[in-house]
């Protein structure tokens, strides 16, 4: 990820965009902050937020034309939030912050403001706070300009006076009753900069270039005129028809920024996006939000009582997007949102020396794509995360423990223990080849045998081959492009040697791998094949019941698969109570992306969240989804259970096999298939595999929890017994030995039994190297 | 994990080397991970050098240090 792509990603996330009210306000009042504070009864914090944008809060909270309320998204469900009335309560009830404390040191440059209306006074206020020496020329005998023409009940005189009292505090020099009769060039010669804000229809008089209507023409961004150092804004630009105090304030402030930059001799135009009103890019979902009635005010000229303002402020929806965070436990767990996350990932990848705090975050995503599905701008954190993992691998900075277990599992599946590719007996090519994947074979090897038998029978005019192995998905999730390409190339070659059959895929992760990495080969989802060819096996049970379907996340955009599954479930005679988050909105079981390996606590929360979405039994068509849900006590069926198993209740509550048993099941499946279908035997086991182990259920569960396999233990015992390098416990007589086959050192506490087996009492492991641990 | 930093659990007195039939003694052992190595006081056989790492150490502080080093 370079800086440019970081910025593109950051901009894709709209969570930090200003809400409609703030964006639509020419002065960008932080309405969310203000209403949140008022809602909490903290009017002073609210007033401070208001006054950061508006120097004359009393006036604005009386006469603002309220563009914020026009664009407030509450309009879609009711009356908009009464923002101006809330502002007025803040002014009446809150204490004004002393911004003078923040006043910068006095500077020597002098600025003339021509016109004491609200635009000129805003510029005067801002520039005086920046330390400039400001003189205001006003032709009338008081400041305020057009404000004095308003109805006094609507805008009381004391409100104007209270607001303008800030100017003497800022040492602004005011010359009332003073008409500027000299040309602006002369005034400019006397001052370092001039802001002309004399109000509508004065452009010609002041000698500024004007349009056909007599309105002054200025640069729309900087408010500079054709005269160097002279700026103009306010009513002078718009003519007498339009009047908006908040726009006057905005223009006075923006002209003030330009004058400051002009006097400091820096660019007037750099980074000036988002000034003035604009359309918000924030998305806020209003589904399910019920509008509540506005708290009404007794008389239009009156304000709220403080408690009324509080109630009204609480009506504010506090607009935000958070669409992805709402649906994803992972994004929620880390308590931020993608705009922040992509920056953290970028920083993590850029660290040369120091702790990489985001490693675990990067390795915890299930890359399921749900965030992109719900994102208004399609930002896919999964893609960002996978890219980051590949970079970490390239940099040599992927934590070795993060994906190691899964990669070794993949290596096992693609070793001779499991992997094979066979045409049907007596044929030297295939039209179809069943690729059950590693986990269906590990979880339900018997069903794979039944499935193969069913396909060869029902596709009797075709040659149906069998290919066993792991597609390579774990390598992809681990950022290991080398191992992924190796797996893919292997399958490409195997398929070629079988005459390029159509590959039949029960597992949707395999389906996505083959679909994206080998786009030129023919693939078909097993479920669509069964459905399309009308060869769905006659179910062993048809007892009607209601189930919810959990679509595996890798089928997200595979509508055809979703439909086929539902037709099959219907045909079996089951009612479907659809989960709210199904099909393209489905969520991952936490197997994807190795969340379960990188972050066990998160994985548990993900599973709990999903299994509690419905009380009905779940039906799914991914072995890992099924086993993960069942492990937490959720009755979950694989659709093959419905087709091939007579006792569905037993299948629904079955706990999936442990990690050692998964290896064993894969190896056994291959052995059975070779023996029963091809009449072949497998090569002999290695020496250590003949070691027979006994252990209690508690010890077996502890091994699984610690990701220690039977074969790891067999290796330690074989080594210890052969070399006699082991410790003995003085009290129990137990033996303790260790060895390090590859990257992990395994410790096993054991005793030989009378009949030549070994009883296991405990096992643990570490990755740190100690002398003399290597296998020899 | 630093030298002699409270990693001895007392369990080491229960074990002796089976092959050499001698009690274990505490000595400095160089452990390493991801290019970093440091001396640690561990129980080991004075004759053949076989080391004892108790379960609490492997699954506790050793794991913590491994994870810290993985994030460096």
Q: In 10 A of CB A605, how many CB atoms?
A: 16
Candidates A730, A770, A772, A773, partner chain B, best to mutate (most B CBs within 10 A) = A770
Query: What's the rounded mean pLDDT across residues A639-662?
Result: 92
Which of helix, strand or coil describes residue A101?
helix
Token pair for A215: 């309105």
**Which among A661, A665, A646, A669 has a CA at the least distance from the CA of A434?**
A669
Sort A437 into a burial class: Cβ within 10 Å, 0-12 / 13-18 / 19+. Answer: buried
SS3 sequence, A105-144? Answer: CCCCCEEEEECCCHHHHHHHHHHHHCCCEEEEECCCCCCC
Residues of chain B predicted below pLDDT 70 = 1-10
Token pair for A489: 């190339």
In angstroms, the Cα distances linking A469 to A296, A473, A670 are 70, 11, 10
Local structure of residue A27 (DSSP, 8 states): T
- Model confidence band, residue A706 (pLDDT cutoffs 50, 70, 90): very high
The crossing angle, in degrees rounded to 10, of helices A659-677 and A697-705 is 100
Asked if A727 lies within 8 A of B17 by C-beta distance, the reply is yes
* B41 at A interface, C-beta within 8 A: no
Q: Which residues of chain B lie closer than 8 angstroms to A771, CB-CB? A: 29-30, 49, 51
Asked if A355 lies within 8 A of B68 by C-beta distance, the reply is yes
Local structure of residue A216 (DSSP, 8 states): B
Contacts of A497 (CB under 8 A, 6+ apart): A421
Which of helix, strand or coil describes residue A769?
strand
In angstroms, the Cα distances linking A430 to A53, A497, A501, A672 are 73, 10, 5, 21
Asked if A747 lies within 8 A of B58 by C-beta distance, the reply is yes
Nearest chain B Cα distance for residue A355, angstroms:
5
**Which among A32, A25, A38 has a CA at the least distance from the CA of A312?**
A38
Asked if B48 lies within 8 A of A725 by C-beta distance, the reply is yes
Query: What's the rounded mean pLDDT across residues A554-572?
Result: 97
* B61 at A interface, C-beta within 8 A: no
* A751 at B interface, C-beta within 8 A: no
Question: How far is it, in rounded angstroms, from Cα A20 to Cα A34?
Answer: 14
Phi-psi region of A336 (alpha: psi -120 to 50; beta: other; left: phi over 0): beta
The closest CB to that of B70, out of A359, A728, A735, belongs to: A359
Higher pLDDT, A719 or A541: A719
A765, closest residue in chain B (CA to CA): B58
Question: How far is it, in rounded angstroms, from Cα A322 to Cα A374?
Answer: 10
Question: How far is it, in rounded angstroms, from Cα A277 to Cα A732?
Answer: 80
Asked if B18 lies within 8 A of A771 by C-beta distance, the reply is no
pLDDT at A446 over 80: yes
Judge contact between A729 and A736, C-beta under 8 A.
yes
Question: How far is it, in rounded angstroms, from Cα A222 to Cα A230?
Answer: 11
Local structure of residue A80 (DSSP, 8 states): P
Q: Which residues of chain A lie closer than 8 angstroms to B30, CB-CB? A: 771
The closest CB to that of A768, out of B24, B31, B50, belongs to: B31
Pairing mode of beta strands A502-505, A523-525: parallel
Nearest chain A Cα distance for residue B32, angstroms:
5
Candidates B1, B15, B22, partner chain A, best to mutate (most A CBs within 10 A) = B15
Nearest chain B Cα distance for residue A349, angstroms:
11
Nearest chain B Cα distance for residue A755, angstroms:
22
pLDDT recorded at residue A774: 63
**Which among A673, A704, A669, A678 has a CA at the least distance from the CA of A441?**
A669
Query: What's the rounded mean pLDDT across residues A120-127?
Result: 97
Per-residue pLDDT of A356-382, as tens digits, reads: 999 999 999 999 999 999 999 999 999
Is the ipTM higher than 0.90? The answer is yes
pLDDT at A413 over 80: yes
Question: How far is it, in rounded angstroms, from Cα A623 to Cα A638?
Answer: 7
Per-residue pLDDT of A511-532, as tens digits, reads: 999 999 999 999 999 999 999 9
Sequence length of chain B is 72
pLDDT at A738 over 50: yes
Q: Which residues of chain A lie closer than 8 angstroms to B58, CB-CB? A: 747, 764-766
Candidates B50, B56, B57, B64, partner chain A, best to mutate (most A CBs within 10 A) = B50
pLDDT recorded at residue B2: 37
Question: How far is it, in rounded angstroms, from Cα A175 to Cα A509?
Answer: 78
- Provide the number of CB pairs (under 8 Å) joining chain A to chain B: 89
The closest CB to that of B51, out of A735, A762, A770, belongs to: A770
pLDDT recorded at residue B4: 42
Beta strands in A447-545 (DSSP E): 464-468, 502-505, 523-525
Helix runs in A288-421, H state only:
306-314, 323-327, 329-333, 338-350, 359-364, 370-374, 381-394, 400-413
In angstroms, the Cα distances linking A396 to A384, A388, A424, A590, B63 are 18, 12, 44, 26, 20
Nearest chain A Cα distance for residue B71, angstroms:
5
The angle formed by the CA atoms of residues A417, A419 and A425, to the nearest 5 degrees, is 110
* A108 at B interface, C-beta within 8 A: no
Asked if B70 lies within 8 A of A399 by C-beta distance, the reply is yes
pLDDT recorded at residue A453: 97
pLDDT at A600 over 50: yes
Nearest chain A Cα distance for residue B5, angstroms:
17
Q: Which residues of chain B lie closer than 8 angstroms to A724, CB-CB? A: 18-19
Q: Which residues of chain A lie closer than 8 angstroms to B51, CB-CB? A: 738, 770-773
In angstroms, the Cα distances linking A650 to A576, A636, A654 are 20, 10, 6
**Which among A683, A725, A690, A695 has a CA at the least distance from the CA of A711?**
A690
pLDDT at A542 over 80: no
Which of helix, strand or coil describes residue A277?
coil
> Could you please report the per-residue DSSP string of A673-722?
HHHHHS---PPPPPGGGG--EE--HHHHHHHHHTT--HHHHHHHHHHHHH
Nearest chain B Cα distance for residue A635, angstroms:
33
């Amino acid at each position: 990820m370079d800086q440019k792509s970081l910025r593109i990603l950051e901009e894709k996330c709209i969570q930090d965009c200003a809400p409609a009210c703030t964006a639509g306000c020419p002065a960008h009042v932080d309405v969310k902050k203000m209403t949140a504070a008022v809602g909490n009864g903290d009017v002073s914090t609210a007033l401070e937020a208001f006054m950061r944008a508006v120097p004359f809060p009393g006036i604005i909270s009386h006469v603002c034309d309220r563009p914020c309320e026009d664009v407030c998204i509450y309009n879609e469900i009711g009356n908009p939030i009464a923002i101006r009335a809330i502002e007025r309560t803040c002014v009446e009830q809150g204490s004004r912050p002393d911004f003078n404390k923040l006043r910068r040191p006095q500077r020597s440059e002098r600025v003339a403001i021509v016109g004491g209306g609200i635009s000129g006074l805003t510029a005067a206020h801002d520039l005086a706070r920046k330390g400039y020496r400001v003189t205001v020329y006003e032709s009338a005998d008081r400041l305020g300009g057009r404000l004095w023409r308003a109805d006094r009940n609507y805008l009381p005189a004391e409100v104007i006076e209270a607001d303008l009292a800030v100017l003497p505090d800022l040492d602004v020099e005011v010359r009332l009753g003073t008409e500027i009769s000299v040309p602006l060039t002369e005034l400019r010669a006397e001052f370092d900069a001039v802001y002309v804000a004399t109000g509508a229809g004065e452009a010609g008089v002041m000698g500024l270039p004007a349009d056909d209507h007599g309105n002054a023409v200025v640069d729309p961004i900087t408010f500079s005129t054709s005269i160097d150092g002279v700026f103009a804004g306010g009513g002078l630009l718009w003519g007498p028809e339009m009047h908006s105090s908040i726009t006057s304030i905005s223009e006075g402030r923006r002209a003030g920024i330009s004058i400051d930059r002009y006097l400091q001799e820096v660019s007037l135009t750099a980074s000036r996006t988002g000034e003035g009103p604009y359309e918000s890019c924030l998305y806020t979902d209003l589904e399910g939000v019920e509008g509540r009635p506005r708290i009404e005010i007794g008389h239009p000229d009156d304000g709220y009582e403080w408690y009324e303002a509080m109630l009204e402020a609480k009506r504010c929806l506090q607009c935000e997007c958070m669409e992805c965070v709402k649906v994803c436990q992972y994004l929620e767990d880390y308590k931020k949102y993608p705009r922040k996350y992509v920056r953290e990932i970028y920083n993590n990848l850029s660290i040369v020396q120091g702790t990489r705090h985001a490693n675990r975050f990067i390795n915890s995503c299930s890359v399921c794509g749900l965030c992109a599905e719900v994102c208004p701008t399609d930002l896919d954190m999964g893609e960002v995360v996978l890219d980051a993992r590949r970079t970490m691998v390239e940099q040599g900075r992927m934590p070795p423990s993060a994906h190691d277990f899964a990669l070794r599992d993949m290596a096992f599946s693609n070793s001779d223990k499991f992997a094979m590719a066979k045409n049907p007996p007596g044929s030297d090519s295939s039209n179809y080849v069943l690729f059950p994947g590693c986990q269906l074979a590990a979880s339900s090897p018997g069903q794979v045998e039944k499935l193969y038998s069913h396909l060869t029978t029902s596709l009797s005019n075709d040659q149906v081959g069998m290919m066993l192995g792991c597609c390579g998905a774990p390598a992809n999730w681990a950022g290991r492009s080398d191992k992924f390409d190796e797996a893919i190339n292997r399958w490409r070659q195997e398929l070629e040697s079988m005459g390029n059959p159509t590959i039949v895929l029960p597992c949707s992760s395999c389906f996505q791998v083959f679909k994206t990495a080998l786009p030129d080969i023919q693939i078909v989802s097993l479920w669509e094949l069964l459905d399309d060819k009308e060869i769905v096996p006659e179910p062993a049970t048809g007892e009607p019941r209601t189930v919810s379907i959990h679509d595996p996340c890798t089928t997200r955009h595979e509508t055809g698969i979703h439909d086929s599954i539902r037709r099959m479930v219907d045909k079996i005679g089951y009612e479907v109570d659809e989960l709210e988050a199904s099909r393209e909105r489905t969520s991952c079981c936490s197997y994807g992306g190795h969340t379960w390996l990188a972050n066990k606590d998160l994985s548990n929360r993900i599973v709990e969240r999903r299994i509690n979405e419905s009380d009905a039994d779940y039906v799914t068509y991914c072995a890992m989804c099924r086993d993960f849900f069942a492990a937490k006590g959720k009755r979950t069926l694989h659709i093959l259970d419905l087709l091939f198993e007579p006792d569905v209740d037993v299948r629904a509550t079955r706990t999936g096999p442990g990690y050692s048993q998964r290896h064993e099941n894969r190896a056994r499946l291959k052995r059975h298939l070779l023996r029963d279908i091809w009449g072949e035997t497998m090569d002999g086991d290695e020496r250590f595999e003949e070691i027979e182990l006994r252990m209690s259920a508690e010890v077996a569960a502890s091994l699984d929890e610690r990701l220690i396999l039977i074969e790891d233990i067999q290796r330690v015992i074989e080594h210890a017994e052969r070399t006699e390098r082991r410790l003995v416990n003085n009290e129990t007589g137990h033996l303790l030995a260790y060895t390090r086959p590859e990257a992990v050192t395994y410790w096993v506490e054991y005793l030989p039994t009378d009949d030549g087996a070994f009883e296991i009492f405990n096992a643990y492991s570490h990755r740190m190297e100690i002398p003399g641990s290597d296998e020899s | 994990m630093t030298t002699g930093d409270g990693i001895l659990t007392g369990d080491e007195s229960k074990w002796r080397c089976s092959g050499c039939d001698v009690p274990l003694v505490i000595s400095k052992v160089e452990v390493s991970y991801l290019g970093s190595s440091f001396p640690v006081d561990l129980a080991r056989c004075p004759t053949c050098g076989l080391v004892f790492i108790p379960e609490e150490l492997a699954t506790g502080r050793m794991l913590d240090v491994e994870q810290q080093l993985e994030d460096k």
